[in-house]
């Protein structure tokens, strides 16, 4: 009798010798006990053993393949055949840089007979600036990146793009992940050798600032705890794969996280300032903290803020200056005297003197009024600034909040870390410091801190993005309520490789992409499906839909419209409120020809493309985006202006190619540009008939440019095909 897949997986894990703990769902007497909780598989030390490659056989190219094949053989399964070269090269390009290969790049790969041809392609893509744009976007999902605050008052985060671009640059530079973590947690506190380095590190710490916050009518103490709670939840899911927010009100019901651990972390984050009072929309408001950049940054920022603080007084002074001018012109000495008593600065010094001729006094007052009017009409330009946290003036330990209520104080808890993954959860924090520096280092400390767990989390996410599903499917939840790893030894092997490589993300990506496992086709097997219907054992490649960024970029790339230049802000034209109450005169734009990673992410007003094709929720950490297939996606592809424009531009590109005149050759070119393949004879005949009939009909209807219209519809049809929208 055949086991069902879950039974096979659990038995396989036991046979592999992995120390596992199934979800207890409260079965322990005290599930929040961190000492007992260390028996859970995710908190165990990384396995040192490596499977002998000889066990797996000739199919394997690497230890990754050894682990996968061993699990398949245990289940009496075989891996799928290798993907066709065209399929593989398309998959590699999309997974590494989020773009399709050009026809020339495909032909170059197919004609390259060198044994290391695939490695050469992978290395080129890993070194491409587009790699950081693709993989940086994965991190931005976790960082809940957005260009606006969202929630009650959707104020614009005008400077958030600097953090976005820092992420892209850091990924491209292959910044070691331990440093990547440290700069985002405590970049503003790190030493530096130059102002440029200081600013880069401070911008990285925008990770703590960019989250959504309740702004309207919020008690300052309550807001401080709410901000810390959001940061703890984000840090827990992003770096540790744990739902720490559940311990705010009581000991965690499922995970080994007592309430004291939550408030140990809270003390670090409430000792961190991410908000400040600034003049906004006519009044002083508590907003995200902004700091000037460059050698004169502080002075420029202070001058800019001073201007807006003084605007109400300037308006009042200008109003009274106008009244003074009218009194002078009327020669009303008594009225002018009364105004001077109340508002002396509203009258020019020369105009106050009654001795000079009235005409001269009027001219002097006009000059003052003109000066005030011009000052109000020409506010200073926004100086270079970034969203940067800082330690509060007096960092302190935090008190437990009874029932999680901000104003019900319990015992005070020393600042520190999670006990379940710490040899010393109570670090020595220097006087006057929040503890963020120590927290950032603890995250990647493989000997005494959370480093081994952090490594497991990261390699699982890398696997998820490359393979379509994580070794642990619940990529944001490695706790007891999460799923077990399908290949625990493989997970630990990759985590060890990450650490031994100096925390190099690119090294792990390269290792996975060059494996035989990555190169499998998505060919169906009824036997394998009956045993493992969810493909948990990886008997074939997961077929997956292109995310909205890759979908849009691929259409713009095929049409020749895509501008690969990096972008700074794409929200500069918006007002201080990204979405205002009532009619929004100016909304976020999506008509930039740049890569989609640079498009505005306005909370509560995402572009339609993002809404329809399962973009990450920017209000919270997202390690795995939802994957849906819905009618609205087809309707979007049929009716969206961007899609139709790309189809028309591609049609013009095909028709303008002087080297291709025959209609069937144009169809081959269209398939090559969009799908990186050639049409079958049946497809060629179908499209040829469609184009010819459409052009004839449009000509008879006196439609302008009938050939362009006909070929546009053909391109549009291919954009709407599942072969374009899905990776095999």
**Chain segment 506-531, per-residue pLDDT in tens:** 999 999 999 999 999 999 999 999 99
> Counting beta carbons within 10 angstroms of the beta carbon of residue 276, is it exposed (0 to 12), middle (13 to 18) or buried (19 or more)?
middle
Alpha-carbon span 343 to 365, nearest angstrom: 14
| Burial of 344 from C-beta contacts in 10 A (0-12 / 13-18 / 19+) | exposed
Distance (Å) of CA 275 to CA 152, 260, 492, 579: 16, 25, 40, 21
E strand or H helix at 386, and its extent? strand 385-387
Q: What is the pLDDT of residues 50-85, one digit of tens each?
A: 655 445 568 999 999 999 999 999 999 999 999 999
pLDDT (0 to 100) of residue 463:
98
Q: Other C-beta atoms within 10 Å of 95: how many?
A: 22
Token pair for residue 424? 């010393």
Token pair 């000889």 is found at: 54
pLDDT of residue 240: 97
> Is it the case that residue 29 has pLDDT exceeding 80?
no
- Report the pLDDT value the prediction gives residue 243, as an integer from 0 to 100: 94
Distance separating the N- and C-terminal Cα atoms of the chain: 33
Using the predicted structure, report yes or no on whether residue 657 has a pLDDT greater than 60.
yes
The answer on pLDDT for 28 being more than 90 is no
Residues whose CB is less than 8 angstroms from the CB of residue 147 and which lie 6 or more positions away in sequence, other chains included: 156, 157, 158, 160, 161, 570, 571, 578, 588, 600, 601, 602
Q: Where are the domains of the chain?
A: 5-17+60-126+452-475+482-543, 176-293+387-443, 297-383, 638-727
Give the residue-averaged pLDDT of 19-33: 59
Whole-model pTM: value is 0.92
687-to-668, 692, 716 alpha-carbon distances in Å: 10, 8, 12
Half-sphere exposure (Cβ direction) of 195: Cα atoms closer than 13 Å: 7
Provide DSSP, 143-212. TT--SB--SSS-BB-TTHHHHHHHHHHHHHTT--HHHHHHHHHHGGGS--SSHHHHHHHHHHGGGGTSS-
| Helix (H) / strand (E) containing 118 | helix 117-126
Stated length of the chain = 728
pLDDT for the residue 710: 97
C-alpha distances in Å from residue 92, one per residue of 62, 170, 400, 712: 18, 21, 49, 28
- The confidence band for 7, taking pLDDT boundaries of 50, 70 and 90, is very low
Higher pLDDT, 379 or 540: 540
Distance (Å, whole) CA 571 – CA 568: 9
Predicted local confidence at residue 10, as pLDDT: 38
Residue 14 has pLDDT above 50, yes or no: no
Cβ burial 378-405 (10 Å sphere, 16+ → b, else e) = eeeeebbbbbbbbbeeebebbbbbeebe
Q: What is the pLDDT of residue 55?
A: 52
Asked if the model's pLDDT at residue 442 lies above 60, the reply is: yes
**In this structure, what DSSP letter does residue 726 have?**
E
Confidence band, pLDDT 50/70/90 cuts, at residue 703: very high
Check residue 316 and give its pLDDT.
94
What is the distance between the alpha carbons of residues 464 and 457, in angstroms, rounded to a whole number? 11
Gap between the Cα atoms of 451 and 204, Å rounded: 20
User: Which residues face 155 on adjacent strands?
Assistant: 577
pLDDT tier at 19 (50, 70, 90 boundaries)?
very low
Which residue matches tokens 């799923």? 483
**3-class secondary structure per residue, 411-431:** EEECCCCCHHHCCCCCCCCCC
Q: Give the chain's mean pLDDT.
A: 93
* pLDDT, position 57: 66
CA torsion 573→577→578→583, rounded to 10°? -100
Residue 696 half-sphere exposure, CB side, CA atoms within 13 Å? 6
Question: What confidence tier does 425 reach under pLDDT thresholds 50, 70, 90?
Answer: confident
Report the C-alpha gap between 302 and 389 in whole angstroms: 17
- The model's pLDDT over 591-625, given as tens digits with 9 standing for 90+, comes to 999 999 999 999 999 999 999 999 999 999 999 99
Three-class HEC string of 286-298: EEECEEECCCCHH
Residues 311 and 376: beta-carbon distance below 8 Å: yes
Per-residue pLDDT, averaged over 205-216, amounts to 95
């Amino acid at each position: 009798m055949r086991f069902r897949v879950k039974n096979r997986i659990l038995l396989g894990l036991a046979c592999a010798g992995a120390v596992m703990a199934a979800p207890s769902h409260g079965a322990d007497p005290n599930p929040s006990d961190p000492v007992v909780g260390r028996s859970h598989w995710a908190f165990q030390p990384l396995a040192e053993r490596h499977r002998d490659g000889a066990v797996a056989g000739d199919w394997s190219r690497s230890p990754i393949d050894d682990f996968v094949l061993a699990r398949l053989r245990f289940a009496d399964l075989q891996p799928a055949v290798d993907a066709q070269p065209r399929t593989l090269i398309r998959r590699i390009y999309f997974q590494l840089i989020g773009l399709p290969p050009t026809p020339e790049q495909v032909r170059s790969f197919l004609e390259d007979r060198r044994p290391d041809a695939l490695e050469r392609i992978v290395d080129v893509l890993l070194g491409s600036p587009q790699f950081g744009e693709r993989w940086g976007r994965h991190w931005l999902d976790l960082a809940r990146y957005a260009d606006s605050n969202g929630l009650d008052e959707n104020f614009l985060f005008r400077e958030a793009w600097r953090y976005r671009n820092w992420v892209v640059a850091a990924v491209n530079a292959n910044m070691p992940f331990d440093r990547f973590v440290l700069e985002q947690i405590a970049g503003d506190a790190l030493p530096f050798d130059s102002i440029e380095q200081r600013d880069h590190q401070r911008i990285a710490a925008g990770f703590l600032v960019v989250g959504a916050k309740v702004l309207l009518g919020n008690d300052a103490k309550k807001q401080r705890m709410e901000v810390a709670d959001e940061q703890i939840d984000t840090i827990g899911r992003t770096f540790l794969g744990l739902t720490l927010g559940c311990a705010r009100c009581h000991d965690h019901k499922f995970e080994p996280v007592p309430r004291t651990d939550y408030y140990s972390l809270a003390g670090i984050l409430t000792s961190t300032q991410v908000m400040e009072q600034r003049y906004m929309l006519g009044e002083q408001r508590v907003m995200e903290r902004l700091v000037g950049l460059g050698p004169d940054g502080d002075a420029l920022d202070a001058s800019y803020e001073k201007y807006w603080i003084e605007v109400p007084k300037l308006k009042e002074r200008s109003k009274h200056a106008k009244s003074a001018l009218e009194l002078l012109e009327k020669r009303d000495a008594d009225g002018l005297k009364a105004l001077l008593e109340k508002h002396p600065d509203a009258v020019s010094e020369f105009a106050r003197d009654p001795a000079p001729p009235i005409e001269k006094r009027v001219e002097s007052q006009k000059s003052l009024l003109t000066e005030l009017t011009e000052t109000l009409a020409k506010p200073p330009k926004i100086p270079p600034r970034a969203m940067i946290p800082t330690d509060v003036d007096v960092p302190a330990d935090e008190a437990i909040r009874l029932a999680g209520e901000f104003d019900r104080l319990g015992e005070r808890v020393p600042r520190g870390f999670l006990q379940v993954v710490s040899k010393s959860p109570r670090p020595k924090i220097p006087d006057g410091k929040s503890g963020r520096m120590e927290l950032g280092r603890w995250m990647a400390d493989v000997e005494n801190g959370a480093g081994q767990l952090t490594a497991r989390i990261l390699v699982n996410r890398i696997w998820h993005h490359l393979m379509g599903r994580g070794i642990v499917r619940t990529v944001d939840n490695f706790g007891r309520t999460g799923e077990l790893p399908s290949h625990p030894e493989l997970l630990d092997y990759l985590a060890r490789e990450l650490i031994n490589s100096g925390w190099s993300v690119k090294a792990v990506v390269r290792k996975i992409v060059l494996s035989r496992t990555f190169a499998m086709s998505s060919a169906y097997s009824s036997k394998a499906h009956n045993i493992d219907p969810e493909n948990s054992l990886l008997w074939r490649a997961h077929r997956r839909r292109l995310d909205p960024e890759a979908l849009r970029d691929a259409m713009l790339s095929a049409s020749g419209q895509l501008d690969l230049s990096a972008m700074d802000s794409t929200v500069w034209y918006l007002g201080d409120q990204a979405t205002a109450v009532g009619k929004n005169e100016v909304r976020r734009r999506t008509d930039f020809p740049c890569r989609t990673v640079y498009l505005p992410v306005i909370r509560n007003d995402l572009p339609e493309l993002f809404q329809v094709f399962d973009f990450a929720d920017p209000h919270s950490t997202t390690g795995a985006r939802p994957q849906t297939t819905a009618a609205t996606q087809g309707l979007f592809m049929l009716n969206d202006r961007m899609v139709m424009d790309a189809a028309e531009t591609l049609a013009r590109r095909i028709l303008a190619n002087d080297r291709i005149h025959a209609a069937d050759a144009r169809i081959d070119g269209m398939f090559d540009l969009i799908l990186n393949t050639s049409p079958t004879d049946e497809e060629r005949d179908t499209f040829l008939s469609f184009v010819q009939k459409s052009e004839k009909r449009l000509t008879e209807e006196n439609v302008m440019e009938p050939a362009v219209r006909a070929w546009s519809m053909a391109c549009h049809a291919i954009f709407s095909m599942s072969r374009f929208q899905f990776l095999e």
